[in-house]
Structure 1
Amino acid sequence: MKSPQQPGRLFLWRGAALVVSPGIDSSLHTHYALQLTYGLERPFRARLQSEHDWTVSRSASFAPHDAHQIDSDGGMLAHLFLEMPEAVKLKATDLQAGFESQPEFQALLASLADNRHQSLDMAAALQIRQAWQSCALPHSQTSTSFDSRILSTLDTIVASHGLDCNGESLARLVHLSESRFTHLFRQQTGMSLSRYLLWSRMVDAVAAVAQGNNMTAAAHASGFADLAHMSRTFRSMMGVAPSELHRMAIAFKQDAI
C-alpha cells in the first residue's frame, strides 16, 4: 500500500537542489547534474534502460548524462542534485551506492526526516547538502578550486539570469579567445557552456514559480521561447512534468555554485 501523499519540499541553490518528496515515478531521462537518491521510508527501484531489469536499492548515485528511471511506489525519497564541479569526480552510476552506511550520513537522516514536517529552513538544508555531498564525494572539488575566470563567468551568468550570455561575450569578459574559454569552461565544470546555460534557465524558471509566477510567466522570465519549450526541457532533465512543482513548497537562494 502506498504512503499517504505528503507535501514535497524543494531547496534550490545555483548549482544544487535538495528535494524531499513523495516519490514521483519518472520516465527514462537524463540531465546534467549528479543525482544522489535515498529512500527515506523504504527501498525504491531504479534502472538505466527500459529493457533492463529493475534494481531494488536504498541509495543510488546517477552520473551526469546517464539515463535512469525511478519507481518509488509512492515512498518518500530524498534527492540531491549537484550541477558541478562534483560531476568531474564521479566515476560512474552506482545503483547500490555506499554513502548510506557512513556514520555521517546516518546522522543527517534525522534532519531529512524533520524536513518532511517542518517549515522550510535553508540553513538546515545547506547542512544536509554539505554533509551528504561529503559522504558521497569525499574528494570532490569545491567552488574555491575554480579558475578565477570561470568564477567570474558564473557570477555574470547569475547576475544576468543567463540572458544574452554566449561564448563570445563571456570569453571577452575574461580576456580569452572563445575557443580557449569554452574549453576551460567544460574542463572546470564538466559540461559545455550551452548545456550549463540551459540548466541555468531551468533553475531560474523554478525560482520564478517559487516567487508565485504561473508556468507561462516563469518560462518567459527565464528565457525560454514558450511554455512548451520549458516543459520539454524540464521533462528531459528531471523525468517529470514541471506541473509537479505546484505540489512542492520551494525555498531558493540565487547564488553561484
Structure 2
Amino acid sequence: MPATNSAMSPRESRRVFEPPAFKMAILNGLSVYISRDIQTNVHSHHLLELVLSFGESFCISDTKSEICSTGIIISPDVPHQFTSNLKDYHIFIFLDPETQQAALLQRVFGLNKNPIQAISEEGIQTVIEGFKQWFYSNDFTPEAILPLIDQLVSALAPYHPFHPLIDARILHATRYIKQNLDSELDVKTVASEACLSESRFSHLFKEQIGIPLRRYILWCRMENAIRLIANGTNLSQAAYEGGFSDPAHLTRTFQEMFGVKPSQALKQ
C-alpha cells in the first residue's frame, strides 16, 4: 500500500480550529453565553449578570456613568448598555436572582447600593481559562459549566463557601420534570412523584436547587428550546417542543431573561 500524507493543509488546519460563532449553556437558573460581535442598546433583565472578557476591556454604561474593565457584575433589573471591541470574545453569565449563588453575590458586592461594579481579575483567571477551554471544545453539555460557575462564585465570595448537597428525592423530581416538559407540571404532581407533601417539597426544592419549582420548570423549558434552535429547529417548532404556548411566548420569555431576542443571540 502506498504511503499517504496525513498532514493537513493550512486551509484544512484553519477550518478545524475555527471557533464557533457562539456557545450557550442553560440549566437550573443559570446560563452562560460566549460570543463576539456584540453591542447592545440600553436594556434590563431580571437576572444578575456577570460579564468577563477573554482579554480586552469592555464597557458597561447606565444613564449616569460608564465602567470599563475585563470583568463587571450587574444587579438584576438595572438598565445598562454593553460596548466592546467587536473582535474580542466575552463570557456572559446570567443567574436567576432567586438562586442562592445570585443572592450570595448580591450580598457580598452590596449590589443594592452599587448595582454595577468592576470585578478584580485576581483569583478568576483560572476560571476564565476554564471557560475558554469549554468554548473551544466539542463539549456542548450544559452540566459542563456547573463546576466553572461554582469556582467563579467561590473566587468572588471566598469566605462564603457554597456547596449544595442534593437530596435523592429532589434529584428524582428534577429528572421527572425534564422528562415531562411537554406536560402540565405543578407542585402537586411533582411533589407526589417525589413522595413528599406539597409544602415540604416546595421548601426542600428551593433549598436544594436554589430556585422555586415554577422558575426551575421555566429554565428547563428555555434550555430545551435553545438546544433545539441551536440544532437547526425553527423558532415555532422549538417553542412548541420546548413547552411554550407559541413562538411569541418563547421570544418574550427569552428577551425578559437575557435582554435580547433569540434571533440576536443565537445567530449562526
Which of structures 1 and 2 has the bigger CA Rg?
2
Of the three residues 118, 121, 145, the one matched with 2:139 is 121
Letter of the 2:43 partner, please give it: L
Which of 1 and 2 has higher RCO (CA within 8 Å, sep 6+)? Answer: 1
- Cα 1:217/1:122, change in 2 over 3 Å: closer
Q: 8 Å contact 1:30–1:67 — kept in the other structure?
A: yes
Q: List alignment gaps of at least 5 residues for structure 2.
A: 1-18
- 1:255 match: none
Q: Report % sequence identity.
A: 28
- Distance (Å, rounded) in 2 between the aligned partners of 1:51 and 1:134: 31
- Distance (Å, rounded) in 2 between the aligned partners of 1:114 and 1:191: 29
Letter of the 2:139 partner, please give it: D
Residues 48-68 of structure 1 show CA distances to partners (whole Å, capped at 9, x for unaligned) of xx64433333212345x4435
- 2:25 match: 12
Query: Are residue 96 (structure 1) and residue 117 (structure 2) matched?
Result: yes
- 2:162 match: 141
Q: 8 Å contact 2:229–2:238 — kept in the other structure?
A: yes
Offset, 1:242: 0.3
Q: What are the residue-to-residue correspondences of 1:1-257 with 2, within 5 Å?
A: 7-15=20-28, 16-22=30-36, 23-25=38-40, 27-32=42-47, 34-47=48-61, 51-63=63-75, 65-73=76-84, 74=86, 75-82=88-95, 84-90=99-105, 91=107, 92-93=110-111, 95-102=116-123, 105-110=124-129, 112=131, 118=136, 120-122=138-140, 126=145, 128-129=148-149, 131-138=151-158, 139-144=160-165, 146-161=166-181, 163-248=183-268
Aligned to 2:43, what secondary structure does the other structure show? Answer: coil
Q: 8 Å contact 1:147–1:188 — kept in the other structure?
A: yes
- Cα 1:151/1:67, change in 2 over 3 Å: farther
Aligned residues: 235
Letter of the 1:17 partner, please give it: S
TM-score w.r.t. structure 2 length?
0.71
Q: 8 Å contact 1:219–1:230 — kept in the other structure?
A: yes
Residues 128-163 of structure 1 show CA distances to partners (whole Å, capped at 9, x for unaligned) of 55543442344453442x344332322222222363
TM-score w.r.t. structure 1 length?
0.74
